[in-house]
Structure 1
Amino acid sequence: MQTATQQEPQNLIDRIGIPRPLLWGFVGLLLFMIGDGVEAGYLAPFLESQGQSSTRVALLFTVYGVAVSISSWLSGPLSDMWGPKKVMWVGLWIWGIFEVLFLVLGLQPNNYNMMVVAYTARGLGYPLFAYGFLVWIAAATPARQLGSAAGWFWFAFSGGLPTLGSLFASFAIPRIGEMGTFWSSLALVMAGGLVALLCTHEPSGSKRLSPPDVTLKQAMFGSISIIWREPKTAIAGLVRTINTSSEYAFLVIMPGVFTKLVGFSLEQWLQLLSIVFLSNIIFNLLSGILADRLGPRTVVAVGGGLGAAICVPLFYYVPLSMPHNFPIAAAMGVLYGASLAAFVPLSGLMPQVCPKEKAAALSILGLGAGASTWVGPAIVTWFQGSVGTAGVIWIFSGLYVLSALMTMAITVSPEARAYTRQAELEASQLDKEAAMHAAGGQ
């Protein structure tokens, strides 16, 4: 009886699409990203209230995004060479150390140069932690479950950044102040990192994933050369860049739009942001599950590309036309968050496109995800002065149409499908032999 009782919740975890040995990694990732997302909705208005210009704030976010994109790319080859778990440890300590420097030497004395240095360096931290875990997921999860596992990864990722992070900030700021809330993010990040790394014992995360004869230089080159050896990865990287570029641009421009033009308070804006990304995390799961049934390309191209092309203008124009109307703004935000979530199946598709080089393929997606953190603010910096905020909105809408067209070119070759089937058959056979050996030993 006791054995059956113990196994029932484990089987439930598998059935909902979470790889059972990685459960605590998902929990820790959620806590980590809540901490990372605490500042997302109010760092820009806080800096402007301290006398920093909107151009300087956009530049800070852009440089930070460049660091994020570099680190996102590095997460793949470094996980191949060192093992994902070690890469996650490095990311956790980088985040913690440079957050302290950012707060003590940058924000508190309002020293812009130190803000740029420390915040940019901190940008190297979260991608190593988060995308190192994504490589771990790809290494430990069978192809049939990759879509759902990717959905749960992005559920935890965007559940924290910025959904629950912004919600936490909306309640914390009135009680402990803005600086106190910044400090609380450090505690959340460290707690999440320790939960993920100390409570997850799946063995492939602690092992080198590359063959023993592959050097670090070769792994680095392989994670870049895959762009021209398998051009579909380059297309996927561009699609992933477009995916969340508007999100990071909106963190720069939308606080002003909603607080100055629509008539919301800062707390209402933060709560709206949380609603937007609550929708996002729910649809992260749904899009992963739908991708396992309808095919990832269909979900990404239709729900993501075409959906976001429509929802981005709706999120801007409808609240402007109906100021002070929080429910209407929230409804538009829900649609926008859902359209961004429809890009999630890319993370399950790429290991199938390149089954022999999963980490390298995911590193290109990581590069795209990181690039979106600076491409979005950079588009604001480059174009807002000439075409206005409305023009920036239509630039993003056009980019999403382009992403839908590009997604249709990302196909899985027959050779890749055959390789994946063979690898899974061999893994299944090894599991059966191990189970028989264990049963015989008992």
Structure 2
Amino acid sequence: MSAGTGQTSATASGPDAGRAGTAPDGAARNGTARNGTARSRKLGWALTALTVFMVGDGMETAFLSPYLDALGFDAGRVALLWSAYGASAAIAAWAAGALAQAWGAKRVIMTGAAIWLAMHVVFLVFGVSVGNYSLMLLSFTVRGAGYAMFAFGFLVWVNDEADPRTLHKSVGWYWFAYALGLGVVSSYVAGFTLPVIGQLGTLWLALAFVAAGSAVALFKVPGAVRRRVPLAESLGALVKGITVVRDHPRVGIGGVVRVINTTSFYAFVAFLTTYMVRQIGFSDTEWQLIWGTMLFANVLANIVAGYGAHYLGPRQIITWAGGFGCFVTVLALYFVPTWIGPNFWVTIAIAVLYGLALGMFVPLSALIPQLAGASKGSAIAVLNLGAGASQLVGPLLAALVPALGMTPVVWVIAVLYLVGMVLTQFLKQPTTSGAPSAA
């Protein structure tokens, strides 16, 4: 529009002709700058809300399992708790996009927040405090859906509100805020509060962080402006999107690799944390610091993996830095402390390498949509489903520990990464019309 206005004004005569031609362009530039500033401000508030919420959601990750073990809940019931949470989160993450299309992203976000807050209170008051496992299982499961609706509803919001020219950067910042809150800040905060207010007090403090993040989302994050889609139509399109796996089998293989990516992380949440504290002898605070530093390394790996994929090819990074790296570090993170005891610095060094290896699967997010032709959105949905499914598969593997023992389960998890290395070799875009395949 500004170009057209400038051309029209350029034909004007008289001493004010030049000003007539430049004023609209200047106004347009000012308007664009104001729109950009407003958009950045909204995005900043959104990322703040997400980070604070995820701090509360992630505070329990490295200590809840040993805490429940100390309360008398065996490893099988703890693993079932995490498995049910993962299943609920996976379904909610899969459906969040469709619900956001029908309701609007902010409504999904705030519904997720309300579910999380209500179910966390039930979990603590009527479950943990009185030892009622049935209510713990129910409330924790439903709370998983609340977390996914909040987090993935925000991902839809960012896609709606971000400047299309800088969408990739905005989404990158989304994942940075998500990981920063969920893993890094939450672990360090819990490491500080556990010796002061204990496990139950820290779980109550998590509620305060989630409430604060929800309040920021409610009052400072506007609803996205978009065309609403009827819920039945939106859910129907979501279900049809699974046919991308039939039409493009490599997308399905990529989804399996995405499941493998974080399976060890969620399995370790369910059983390794307890083992490190109860058997190896790390204090709660020491393990929180190890866990938080591992996740900080994982955040940095997102950037390293992107550059590595650019220069070496995505499949090379996923296969060797990701798959083989996780195979080695999963085994090392279990066996080395088992052999040498609670050596903080050796263990934290291994944890950093493990966090970096986990992050080397990041190129999947760019590679898999390239294999789906015009169905890129459905391919992304498959990746999201894989991410959620790992929250189910990991704890299910952890549930095998009482029957098989810890060492065999760790080996099963490690070998999955070797399987992932093989599967990654199929994630090669076929050449068409002489075009080079994706490396």
Post-superposition CA distance 1:277-296 (Å, at most 9, x none): 11111212332454455544
The CA distance in 2 between the partners of 1:103 and 1:265, in whole Å, is 23
What pairs up with 1:32-431 in 2 under 5 angstroms?
A: 32-138=53-159, 149-196=170-217, 198-201=219-222, 205-208=224-227, 215-291=233-309, 294-354=312-372, 356-382=374-400, 385-386=403-404, 388-411=405-428
The CA distance in 2 between the partners of 1:289 and 1:192, in whole Å, is 32
Question: In the alignment, residue 307 of structure 1 is paired with which amino acid?
Answer: G
The CA distance in 2 between the partners of 1:249 and 1:213, in whole Å, is 35
Aligned to 1:432: none
The CA distance in 1 between the partners of 2:56 and 2:219, in whole Å, is 18
CA RMSD of aligned residues (A): 3.2
The CA distance in 2 between the partners of 1:410 and 1:148, in whole Å, is 25
CA shift in 2, pair 1:217/1:206, >3 Å = same
Cα displacement (A) at 1:351: 4.5
Cα displacement (A) at 1:407: 2.7
The CA distance in 2 between the partners of 1:265 and 1:370, in whole Å, is 30
Instruction: Tell me, yes or no, if the aligned pair for 1:148 and 1:289 is still in contact at 8 Å.
Output: no
CA shift in 2, pair 1:319/1:153, >3 Å = farther
The CA distance in 1 between the partners of 2:158 and 2:315, in whole Å, is 21
Question: In the alignment, residue 117 of structure 2 is paired with which amino acid?
Answer: G
1:29 to 33, 47, 50: 50
Instruction: Tell me, yes or no, if the aligned pair for 1:347 and 1:362 is still in contact at 8 Å.
Output: yes
* Residue correspondences, number: 402
Q: Percentage identity across aligned positions?
A: 37
Post-superposition CA distance 1:106-154 (Å, at most 9, x none): 1111111100111111110111222223344455668996665554333
CA shift in 2, pair 1:361/1:191, >3 Å = farther
Question: In the alignment, residue 393 of structure 2 is paired with which amino acid?
Answer: V
For the pair shown, the structure with the greater C-alpha radius of gyration is: 2
Question: In the alignment, residue 287 of structure 1 is paired with which amino acid?
Answer: A
Question: In the alignment, residue 188 of structure 1 is paired with which amino acid?
Answer: F
SS of the aligned residue for 1:215 comes to helix
Question: In the alignment, residue 317 of structure 2 is paired with which amino acid?
Answer: V
Cα displacement (A) at 1:29: 1.7
SS of the aligned residue for 2:210 comes to helix
140-149 or 153-162: which moved more? 140-149
What TM-score does the superposition give when structure 2 sets the normalisation length?
0.81
What TM-score does the superposition give when structure 1 sets the normalisation length?
0.81
SS of the aligned residue for 1:51 comes to coil
The CA distance in 1 between the partners of 2:84 and 2:231, in whole Å, is 36
Instruction: Tell me, yes or no, if the aligned pair for 2:253 and 2:427 is still in contact at 8 Å.
Output: yes
The CA distance in 1 between the partners of 2:368 and 2:227, in whole Å, is 20
Instruction: Tell me, yes or no, if the aligned pair for 2:98 and 2:235 is still in contact at 8 Å.
Output: no
Instruction: Tell me, yes or no, if the aligned pair for 1:81 and 1:216 is still in contact at 8 Å.
Output: yes
The CA distance in 1 between the partners of 2:213 and 2:182, in whole Å, is 13
CA shift in 2, pair 1:75/1:345, >3 Å = farther
The CA distance in 1 between the partners of 2:385 and 2:399, in whole Å, is 21
Aligned to 2:22: none
Instruction: Tell me, yes or no, if the aligned pair for 2:85 and 2:140 is still in contact at 8 Å.
Output: yes
The CA distance in 1 between the partners of 2:192 and 2:325, in whole Å, is 32
Aligned to 2:21: none
Post-superposition CA distance 1:78-124 (Å, at most 9, x none): 23433433322222221112112111211111111100111111110
